[in-house]
């Protein structure tokens, strides 16, 4: 990591302390400018790469032979084609499901160990978030190319679409209630219209992201969990098929976007 990044980070925390309400678009632009050529997500990416290469678990294996869809060990561009159908498990998997699969099958972790601490907090970093940061960075600059050719992929997409438009709960909200028209806001936050392809691409291609407000790299699953909460829905289990289906829908709609994650967000 550059010294420059260290300096901007310390400058950033003092700005945060002085700023009463950092939620407007101006503030985001300011953060972005300050961190212009250094995203703290780099630290997660580096730790993730180490974890990928390190012999771990009861089997003392690295993840280097994990097949993310482009063959064992291929990390470049793999994320840009996920979720996808995997023959060996006969199901559509997103990155985090596949990662879990490899940690169980290659490293010998139990399912409980493989899904432990999906989201980090101060003093309790998440290996999963670090691995996800590394693997998504391996698709930076590449175009999303999501297949719905296999019937299972098509089915996951259709289920994801249903979830997106499904209204229920105490407020009778669906995802679409907050994300399908232009110019909607909650408090000071702009709500992206995910029914608009350009917006959907901008949103999808920038997750995971280093959240300045949380001081953590957050995955797409974390983003979706927060949205389920805002929707007053129960939060789906970590790495569940529900999340994969919804991710399939969002990814397919954003197809063709140039990946630029992990990004930097408020
Ligand atoms: C009650 C309103 C609400 C509902 C319902 C809701 N969201 Fe969100 N969503 C938000 C807010 C607020 C943000 C954060 C906007 C920001 O910080 O810029 C957000 C952000 C997002 C983002 C990231 C956009 C970006 O540009 O980074 C995605 C993707 C998303 N929501 C998907 C969903 C999905 C899928 C659902 C249904 C499970 C959903 N949302 C339901 C309010 C909602």
34 vs 223, residue with greater confidence: 223
Whether residue 206 has pLDDT greater than 50: yes
Find the angle CA(210)-CA(129)-CA(112) to the nearest 5 degrees. Answer: 155
Residue 26: pLDDT above 80?
A: no
The domain of 26 spans: 1-38
| Residue 32 pLDDT grade (very low, low, confident, very high; cuts 50, 70, 90) | low
The verdict on the CB of residue 240 being under 6 Å from ligand 1 is: no
CA 10 to chain centre: 26
pLDDT band at 36 (very low <50, low <70, confident <90, very high): low
Predicted confidence (pLDDT) at residue 17 exceeds the cutoff of 60 = no
Question: What is the predicted pLDDT for the residue at 149?
Answer: 98
Q: Is residue 192 part of a domain?
A: yes
Cα–Cα separations (whole angstroms), residue 14 to 1, 20, 28, 195: 20, 12, 15, 37
How many angstroms separate the alpha carbon of residue 190 from the centre of ligand 1? 10
In a domain, 198, yes or no: yes
Could you report the per-residue pLDDT of 111-166, keeping only the tens digit for each?
Answer: 999 999 999 998 999 999 999 999 999 999 999 999 999 999 999 999 999 999 99
Tally the C-alpha atoms within 13 A of residue 57's C-alpha that lie toward its C-beta.
23
Q: Would you place residue 37 in the very low, low, confident or very high pLDDT band (cuts 50, 70, 90)?
A: low
Provide the pLDDT for residue 112.
96
- Cα first-last separation, the chain: 21
Higher pLDDT, 144 or 13: 144
CATH of the domain at 177: 1.10.760.10
Q: How far apart are CA 13 and CA 68, in angstroms?
A: 37
Whole-number pLDDT of residue 35 = 62
Choose among 224, 216, 226, 225: nearest CA to 265: 216
Distances (CA, A) of 90 to 44, 95, 266: 31, 15, 38
How many residues would you count in the chain? 266
- Any ligand 1 atom below 6 A from CB of 248: no
Q: Indicate whether residue 101 lines ligand 1 (CB < 6 A).
A: no
Shortest-distance Cα residue to atom 13 of ligand 1: 191
Nearest in space to 99 (alpha carbons), one of 47, 163, 48:
48
Cis link prior to 262 (omega < 30° from 0)?
yes
Confidence tier at 65 by pLDDT (50, 70, 90): very high
Instruction: State how many domains the chain has.
Output: 2
Could you read off the pLDDT of 73-98 as tens digits, one per residue? 999 999 999 999 999 999 999 999 99
Average pLDDT along the chain: 89
Residue 120: inside a domain: no
Strands (E), the chain: 84-86, 91-93, 185-186, 189-190, 209-211, 216-218, 263-265
Q: Is the full-model pTM beyond 0.85?
A: yes
Determine the average pLDDT of the residues in 162-171.
94
- Model pLDDT for residues 207-245, shown as the tens digit of each residue: 999 998 899 999 999 999 999 999 999 999 999 999 999
Does 243 reside within a domain? yes
CA-angle at 235, arms to 258 and 153, nearest 5°? 45
**Torsion angles phi and psi, residue 163, rounded to 5:** -60, -40
Position 206 in a domain = yes
Task: State how far the Cα of 202 lies from the Cα of 186, in Å rounded to an integer.
Answer: 19
Q: What pLDDT is recorded for position 167?
A: 94
Element of type H or E holding 160: helix 151-165
The answer, yes or no, to whether residue 18 has pLDDT greater than 60, is no
- Whether 66 is a known active-site residue: answer no
Q: What is the pLDDT of residue 157?
A: 98
Q: Please identify which residue in the block is written with the tokens 């950092």.
A: 22
List the beta bridge partners of residue 237: none
Is residue 12 pLDDT above 70, yes or no? no
Q: Does 48 fall in a domain?
A: no
Residue 227 belongs to some domain of the structure: yes
Cα distance between residue 225 and residue 107, in whole Å: 28
Cα-to-centroid distance, 30 and ligand 1 (Å): 22
Ligand 1 within 6 A of 228 CB? yes
Whether residue 242 lies inside any domain: the answer is yes
For the chain, give the percent of residues with pLDDT over 70.
86
- pLDDT at position 21 is 53
Write phi, then psi, for 189 (nearest 5 degrees). -90, 130
CA within 13 Å, CB half, 226:
7
């Amino acid at each position: 990591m550059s010294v420059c990044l260290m300096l901007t980070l310390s400058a950033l925390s003092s700005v945060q302390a002085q700023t009463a309400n950092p939620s407007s678009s101006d503030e985001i632009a300011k953060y972005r400018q300050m961190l212009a050529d250094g995203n703290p997500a780099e630290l997660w990416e580096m730790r993730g790469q180490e974890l990928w290469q390190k012999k771990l678990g009861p089997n003392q294996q690295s993840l280097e032979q994990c097949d993310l869809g482009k063959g064992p060990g291929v990390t470049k561009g793999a994320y840009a084609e996920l979720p996808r159908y995997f023959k060996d498990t006969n199901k559509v998997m997103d990155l985090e499901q596949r990662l879990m699969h490899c940690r169980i099958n290659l490293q010998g972790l139990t399912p409980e160990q493989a899904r432990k601490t999906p989201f980090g907090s101060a003093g309790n970093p998440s290996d999963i978030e670090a691995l996800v940061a590394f693997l998504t960075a391996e698709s930076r600059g590449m175009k999303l190319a999501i297949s719905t050719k296999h019937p299972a992929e098509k089915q996951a997409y259709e289920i994801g679409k249903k979830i997106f438009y499904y209204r229920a709960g105490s407020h009778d909200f669906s995802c679409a209630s907050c994300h399908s028209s232009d110019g909607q806001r909650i408090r000071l936050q702009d709500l992206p219209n995910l029914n608009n392809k350009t917006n959907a691409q901008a949103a999808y291609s920038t997750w995971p992201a280093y959240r300045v407000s949380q001081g953590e790299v957050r995955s797409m699953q974390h983003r979706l969990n927060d949205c389920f909460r805002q929707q007053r829905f129960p939060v789906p289990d970590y790495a569940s098929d529900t999340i994969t289906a919804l991710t399939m829908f969002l990814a397919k709609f954003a197809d063709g976007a140039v990946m630029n994650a992990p990004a930097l967000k408020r």
